[in-house]
Chains A and B, each alone.
Chain A
Amino acid sequence: MNQQNRGFLHKYRSIVVAIVLFVSLDIALIAYNLAASYTIDRYTASRDLSGSMRSSTQIVLRSLLEMQADVAAGGTIGEEARTTLRDRAALIQNGLSALREGGSLPGDAEATVYAAATQPAQRAEADKFASLWQPYQQLLQPLLAADVIDAASVGAAASHGRRINSELFGAINRFVNATQDLVTRETRVLRIVQIVGILFALLNFLYTALLASRRLLEGDRAVARSQKQTGDILATVKEGLFLVTPEQQIGEQMSASLKDVLRQEVKPGQKLFDLLTPMVSAPIMEAARDYVGLLFGKRVKENLVYSLNPLSEVEIGGDTAQKRYLSFQFNRVLDEGEVSGLLVTVQDATERVNLQAEVASAKSRAREQMEVLLRVLNNDPAEVQDFLRRTESSLEQVNATLRQAARRSGENYLGLVNSVFRHVHGIKSEAAAMNLEMFESVAHAFELDLVALRDRGDVEGADMVKLALHLDDLFECLNSVRGLFERLGTASPAPASAPAGGESSPAQQLLASLRGLAKRIAADLGKEVRVTGDMPAFDTLPQGMADDLRSISLQLLRNAVVHGIEEPQERRQHGKAAGGIVHFSCRRSDTDGIDFSVRDDGRGISPRRVREALVRSQRYTADEVAAMPDRDVVMKIFEPGISTASESNRDAGHGAGMDVVLSRVNAMGARIALGSQGHSHTEFRIRIALPSAAAAA
Chain B
Amino acid sequence: MKLLIVDDSNVIRQRIARIASDARLPPMHIVGQARNGVEAVQMVRQHDPDLVTLDLTMPELGGEECTEQMIALKPALTILVVSALSDKATALRALKKGAQGFLYKPFTDDQLVAALQEVMLP
Contact = CB atoms under 8 A, between A and B. Distances in A.
Contacts of B89: 283, 286-287, 290, 310
B38 interface: no
A146 to B, nearest CB: 106
B100 A299 contact: yes
Contacts of A283: 89
Interface in B86-122: 88-89, 91-93, 95-96, 98-104, 115, 118-119, 121
Contact of A308 (B91, B115, B119): B91
Contacts of B92: 287, 290-291, 294, 308, 310
Q: Is the interface of A mostly helix, strand, loop or mixed?
A: helix
Interface in A291-335: 291, 293-294, 299-301, 303-305, 307-310
Given A290-B96, A308-B88, A308-B91, A301 B101 contact: yes
B88 A300 contact: no
Given A290-B93, A294-B95, A304 B88 contact: no
A305 B104 contact: no
A294 B96 CA distance: 7
A307 B114 CA distance: 14
Interface residues of B, number: 19
B54 interface: no
B70 interface: no
Nearest to A303: B118
B102 A299 contact: no
Contacts of B98: 299
A305 B94 CA distance: 12
A304 B101 contact: yes
Interface in A404-423: none
Contacts of A286: 89
Contacts of B95: 290, 294, 300, 305, 308
Interface string A573-616: 00000000000000000000000000000000000000000000
A309 B93 CA distance: 13
Interface string B69-99: 0000000000010000000110111011011
B55 to A, nearest CB: 16
Interface residues of A, number: 17
A184 B114 CA distance: 87
Given A287-B88, A307-B104, A308-B88, A301 B118 contact: yes
B85 to A, nearest CB: 9
Contacts of A305: 95, 101-102
A441 to B, nearest CB: 23
A304 B96 contact: no
Contacts of A309: 88
B12 to A, nearest CB: 18
B91 A304 contact: no
A308 B103 CA distance: 9
Nearest to B121: A301
Contacts of B93: 290
Nearest to B93: A290
A496 to B, nearest CB: 54
Interface in A240-294: 283, 286-287, 290-291, 293-294
A635 B25 CA distance: 75
A304 B80 contact: yes
Nearest to A305: B102
Interface of A: 283, 286-287, 290-291, 293-294, 299-301, 303-305, 307-310
A-B CB proximity, top 7 nearest: A304-B101, A290-B92, A287-B89, A301-B101, A308-B88, A310-B88, A300-B100
Given A290-B93, A307-B104, 8 more contacts: A283-B89, A290-B96, A293-B96, A301-B121, A304-B101, A304-B103, A304-B118, A309-B88
Interface of B: 80, 88-89, 91-93, 95-96, 98-104, 115, 118-119, 121
22 contacts: A286-B89, A287-B92, A290-B89, A290-B92, A291-B92, A293-B96, A294-B92, A294-B95, A294-B96, A300-B95, A301-B118, A303-B118, A304-B100, A304-B118, A304-B119, A305-B95, A305-B102, A307-B102, A307-B104, A308-B88, A308-B91, A310-B92
